[in-house]
Structure 1
Amino acid sequence: MVKRIAILLGAAFLLFTFWYYQRNPLTTKITIGNHVLYVDVAATPVARERGLSGRTSLAQDYGMLFVFPAPAKHGFWMRGMNFALDFIWIRDKTVYELTRNVPAPLSGQSPNMLEPYYPIDMVLEVNAGSIDRFGIKQGDKVVIRQ
């Protein structure tokens, strides 16, 4: 009987942990060039789909890092966004492309689809204007601190 309860509690804990991290991304620090950013990491399909949708703002030195299992031309849209973003397209921990000042869709407007020119394995979304403010450029190295 005690063994069954222990197994059930262990299974419940694992399910809760899986559920929690599907809905609450991990936060870590990254460095691009000389600038340090704090990012929520979206590494699961659920977290990547949700992204920053529904948030009303993003702190100045914060962003969301989308991590994919393999390089591809992963598409992004601004569904449910309330503020403009810059997109930093990354492959092999190197900045490949930059997309500046993508506006949030107006009420009732369909969001535009964004896609990189090159296959990428990560995308960093930051407040519009951050690319220029931080001096981020193509070829910059990205260091992820666990």
Structure 2
Amino acid sequence: MTKQQKIKSLLLFFGLIVGLLIIYLANQHFDKGTVALNGNRVKVEIASTPQQWAQGLSNRDGLKQNNGLLFVYPDYLYRNFWMKDMKFEIDIIWIAENKIVGIEKNVPLPTTVPIPTYRSPKPVNYVLEVTAGYADQHHLQIGDPVIFNL
């Protein structure tokens, strides 16, 4: 192989790596919207694909105040969440039919194996993760209305 062929091969290889990296990062993009919980507005990133559902808030250092991650599902099912690779505590708000149907407050970082799971109290098609303490600070209750601007 000549020197010129080696350079071309290396450039092709690095071009392929850069292309794959761009595709990977593009798939990690979350759309944005807002959710109003009992009159309190939360800026949300929207997780609507299986890859985004699996990633969730894992490996992030935290959330800004009044920000969250909204999981949007095409159907109503019981949902199970866990705190795998989480670096901060959260509140999990279970939502169905535009109402809060359950709240897991101050979900701690896992300290045991297997990692505990948290199950929705009924089938839901939305799950909102916010910073720990949000539900108490804003006096959220089961039955409170939820308005989406997605």
Q: Does TM, normalized by the shorter one, top 0.5?
A: yes
The answer for the alignment partner of 2:88 in structure 1 is 83
The answer for the alignment partner of 2:29 in structure 1 is 24
Counterpart mapping for 1:102-141 below 5 A: 102-106=107-111, 109-141=113-145
The answer for the alignment partner of 2:149 in structure 1 is 145
Question: Helix, strand or coil for the counterpart of 1:41?
Answer: strand
Structure 1: which 5+ residue stretches go unaligned?
Answer: 1-15
The answer for the alignment partner of 1:40 in structure 2 is 45
CA distance in 2, matches of 1:18, 1:132: 37
Q: Taking structure 1 as the reference length, what is the TM-score of the superposition?
A: 0.82
2:101/2:121 contact within 8 Å kept: no
Corresponding pairs, count: 129
Q: Deviations over 1:21-62 (max 9, x none)?
A: x31111111101110000110010000110000001111100
Deviation at 1:18, TM superposition (A): 9.4
Question: Helix, strand or coil for the counterpart of 1:125?
Answer: strand
Structure 2: which 5+ residue stretches go unaligned?
Answer: 1-21
Q: Taking structure 2 as the reference length, what is the TM-score of the superposition?
A: 0.80
User: Who wins on radius of gyration, i.e. which is larger?
Assistant: 2
CA-atom RMSD, angstroms? 1.8
CA distance in 2, matches of 1:17, 1:145: 28
The answer for the alignment partner of 2:102 in structure 1 is 97
Q: Which runs of 4+ in 1 moved over 4 A?
A: 16-19
